[in-house]
Chain A
Amino acid sequence: MIKSSTLLCMLAAVGLLGGPAAADTIKVGVIGTMSGPYALFGKNFKMGIDAWVAQHGSKVGSHEVEFIYRDEEAPNPAKSKAIAQELLVKDKVQYLAGVYFTPNAMAVAPLLEQAKVPLIVMNAATSSIVEKSPFIARTSFTMWQNTVPAAKVARERGASKVAIAVTDYGPGIDAEAAFKKTFEAGGGTIVEAVRMPLNTTDFSPIMQRIKDSGADTIFTFLPAGPPTLAFVKAYIDNGLKAGGIKLMSTGDVVTEPDLPNIGDAGLGILSTYHYAVSHDSPENKAFLDQLVKSGGKLDEVTMTAVAAYDGARLIYKMIEATDGKQDPDKAIAAVKNLKWMSPRGPVSIDPETRHIRQNVYLREVAKRDGKLENKEVQTFEAQPDWALSKQ
């Protein structure tokens, strides 16, 4: 009995059985930072997807869905492209998903039309990514989306001279442009704009430069990961915070897992972002409960988990709409205009840009029950990607 079933399994595995059983497994290739300094965010992709699968089952209709994870490791476009190609050619995936870094997403994009495979971007946040292929949809955020509210808040709260410090690559340049445009339109001036190489670890000289520029507020973006902590610490320890210079950033710089390391000195730091772990809603509570139940740790939750959770929703929707057939046009059409209640709040997919429209929150680092969190203090409703959307 046992033997014959193992034999069947083996036959199925080598594809000898063929027919509907084998054809009915739909593979989804997830590219994420599974190792290296950014491994936490790749892990969050998996946590988010696992939570979705635990809630909705591993089947869509009669189709079994299988997620295959591959490691993009670092910003390395050539390697990511090779990984994507392997997923397409060898593993025969019908969907690609994930991608933490913009350069990697850009490298993968040209393959999609050739292979007729949609890509759900679950992090990479440069606006122009969705323009690289009609088969890309995105459930994360863009720099423009999160930065425009930041610039508005900074101006409202009395900032007039801002120094911008961003990481020198796609999203950083987007963030710089978005802040500059919005802030100057509001009547403020940019007194300094520094672009820092991705591998910078010592921010002291940059803090000195900002101090010398006479700015009253710093706006910064760095990709969530080890350097953000060093940046915030340099800001505090070089006396800029004590000297009254305010720090304004997108939420990437103060992700929840980093807050304990920043410590109480970080209290009061402002950021704008689309998701805070502390977000108070039944959806978020259910989401976090499920994350923990399927093996995740609450202290490790970041924005990539919720982007992956919502991304899995899109993939399920696409599989349902195409009934498991490889039809990227139909699949993408099925998710345009899709509206739902995400753990981050009400969201929808903008039919024009295939990017997610969502609330952006102003948050402040605060303490609750002895634990640091990003407390939401103001909501900017239904923000589009300001770089691409007409409105």
Chain B
Amino acid sequence: MTIASARPAPASRLKVRPAAEARGVLVIIALGLVGYFVFPDDLAFLTRLITIALLVISLDLVTGYCGVATLGQAAMFGVGAYAVGNACLAGLTDPVMLLFVGMAAGAAAGLASGALITRFHGLPQLVLSIALGQLVGALANKLSGWTGGSDGLSGITPSPVLGLFAFDLYSRTAYVFSLVVLALVFALLLRFMRSPFGLLCRGIRDDALRARMIGAAVYPRLVIMYGLSGAVAGIGGALAAITTGVVGLDSVSFERSAEALVMLVLGGTGTLWGALTGALVFQIFEHFVAATNPFHWMSMVGLLLIVIVVFAPRGLAHGAAVLWARLRVRGAAP
């Protein structure tokens, strides 16, 4: 298993050109524009999709790149969202500043939980991630002065982006704003993952012992990655708070964490594109199927997961990549 998953990494690394980041930005923006013009009535949904995509990407940083299985990722998303909500209610209404607030809060939460979780492996690690997530959820319910408890934190009204673009009923501003943030974060992460630090993290995932043998300090690196993951999740939470104006307990719930993991594995762990694909595909399907019957939706996701584990254990993105590579070979031949 470990050998198999390690193999494609060097190959793709060789293929990456310096322009990979620019290409990433272009692809996201292009996709985003298609969304904007083809589905002008669904921008609120597409905005929500982007915020969740950030959560899934953040999960990939720890699960895909560091091999830490966690079912508590929503805690950092929620902490970011609640921090932004409070900052906004306290008078800091500039959306860009709020993003930084969410990022900082998420990073802090990430560092703290990372320091605890990455000390362990396997079942204890998983259970700690669950327990921490649930603890944050219970606290969010209790500290209703800051979170609104079950009533949610509402009345979050950020000022116009750059003082120019107000958030509107049709979510146009919210969508474009989120899209730009996603593209930037994605490009930065692509760059970061190719840095020596990012590569070393993959090494740790594939073989922690070997990484240790070549003199890498494993624990601090994992904690830092957790902090980074928390920052990205925090940005997702911040976007959610800014664009919807409400933060509810659902943003720290176990269901949110579990769904993020499902989306990640659906797309394929260990690649940022996989995380993005998983988030997109899952949510678009959910949007259509769940609207008619939420329970049929659950059955379908259940079946899909089973099928994936049995037939395509490495995710949709991997399958798609294999297909794409084949097509390209075929196209280049004549």
**B residues in contact with A106, CB < 8 Å:** 151-152, 154
Q: Are A78 and B247 in contact (CB under 8 A)?
A: yes
Q: Are A82 and B48 in contact (CB under 8 A)?
A: yes
**0/1 interface trace, chain A 156-194, chain B, CB 8 Å (1 if under):** 000000000001111000000000000000000000000
**B residues in contact with A197, CB < 8 Å:** 138, 141, 150
**A residues in contact with B249, CB < 8 Å:** 75
Q: Are B151 and A76 in contact (CB under 8 A)?
A: no
A-B contact pairs, 8 of them (CB 8 A): A71-B294, A75-B150, A75-B248, A77-B152, A85-B44, A103-B151, A169-B150, A197-B141
Asked if B280 CB lies within 8 Å of chain A CBs, one says no
Q: A78-B240, A103-B150, A115-B169 are in contact. Are A168 and B250 (CB under 8 A)?
A: no
Asked if A81 CB lies within 8 Å of chain B CBs, one says yes
**A residues in contact with B148, CB < 8 Å:** 103
Q: Are A76 and B294 in contact (CB under 8 A)?
A: no
Q: A77-B246, A78-B248 are in contact. Are A170 and B169 (CB under 8 A)?
A: no
Q: A35-B295, A197-B141 are in contact. Are A168 and B149 (CB under 8 A)?
A: yes
Which of these, B42, B157, B248, contacts A77 with CB under 8 Å? B248
Q: Are A111 and B246 in contact (CB under 8 A)?
A: no
**A residues in contact with B251, CB < 8 Å:** 78
Task: State in angstroms the CA–CA spacing of A88 and B294 once bound together.
Answer: 21
Asked if B244 CB lies within 8 Å of chain A CBs, one says yes
**Given A77-B246, A107-B154, A110-B155, 6 other A-B contacts at CB below 8 A?**
A77-B247, A78-B240, A82-B48, A89-B171, A90-B41, A167-B150
Q: Are B169 and A111 in contact (CB under 8 A)?
A: yes
Asked if A79 CB lies within 8 Å of chain B CBs, one says yes
Asked if A50 CB lies within 8 Å of chain B CBs, one says no
Q: Which of B145-169 contact A (CB under 8 A)?
A: 148-152, 154-155, 157, 168-169
From A79, which residue of chain B is reached at the shortest CB distance?
Answer: B250
Asked if A73 CB lies within 8 Å of chain B CBs, one says yes
Q: Are A102 and B151 in contact (CB under 8 A)?
A: yes
Asked if A86 CB lies within 8 Å of chain B CBs, one says yes
Give chain B's interface residues, CB within 8 Å of chain A: 41-42, 44-45, 48, 138, 141, 144, 148-152, 154-155, 157, 168-171, 240, 244-251, 293-295
From A88, which residue of chain B is reached at the shortest CB distance?
Answer: B169
Q: Are B248 and A168 in contact (CB under 8 A)?
A: no
**Shortest beta-carbon distance, B305 to chain A, in Å?**
21
Q: Are A198 and B150 in contact (CB under 8 A)?
A: yes
**Shortest beta-carbon distance, A277 to chain B, in Å?**
28
Q: Are B248 and A76 in contact (CB under 8 A)?
A: yes
Q: A77-B154, A110-B154, A115-B169 are in contact. Are A169 and B294 (CB under 8 A)?
A: no
**Shortest beta-carbon distance, A116 to chain B, in Å?**
10
Asked if A114 CB lies within 8 Å of chain B CBs, one says yes
**A residues in contact with B150, CB < 8 Å:** 75, 103, 167-170, 197-198
**Shortest beta-carbon distance, A342 to chain B, in Å?**
29
Specify which of B45, B152, B245 lies most central, judged by the most chain A CB atoms within 10 Å of its CB: B152
Q: Are B169 and A114 in contact (CB under 8 A)?
A: yes
Q: Which of A244-273 contact B (CB under 8 A)?
A: none
From A167, which residue of chain B is reached at the shortest CB distance?
Answer: B150
Task: State in angstroms the CA–CA spacing of A121 and B149 once bound together.
Answer: 22
Task: State in angstroms the CA–CA spacing of A43 and B152 once bound together.
Answer: 25
Task: State in angstroms the CA–CA spacing of A76 and B154 once bound together.
Answer: 12
Q: Are B152 and A78 in contact (CB under 8 A)?
A: yes
Q: A86-B44, A168-B141 are in contact. Are A78 and B246 (CB under 8 A)?
A: yes
Which of these, A35, A75, A82, contacts B45 with CB under 8 Å? A82
**B residues in contact with A82, CB < 8 Å:** 44-45, 48, 244
**0/1 interface trace, chain A 55-78, chain B, CB 8 Å (1 if under):** 000000000000000010101111
**Shortest beta-carbon distance, B130 to chain A, in Å?**
16
Q: Which of A83-131 contact B (CB under 8 A)?
A: 85-86, 88-90, 102-103, 106-107, 110-111, 114-115
Q: A89-B169, A168-B150, A198-B150 are in contact. Are A107 and B44 (CB under 8 A)?
A: no
From B287, which residue of chain A is reached at the shortest CB distance?
Answer: A86
Task: State in angstroms the CA–CA spacing of A77 and B42 once bound together.
Answer: 19
**B residues in contact with A110, CB < 8 Å:** 154-155, 157, 245
Task: State in angstroms the CA–CA spacing of A168 and B250 once bound together.
Answer: 16
Q: A85-B44, A86-B44, A106-B154 are in contact. Are A78 and B250 (CB under 8 A)?
A: yes
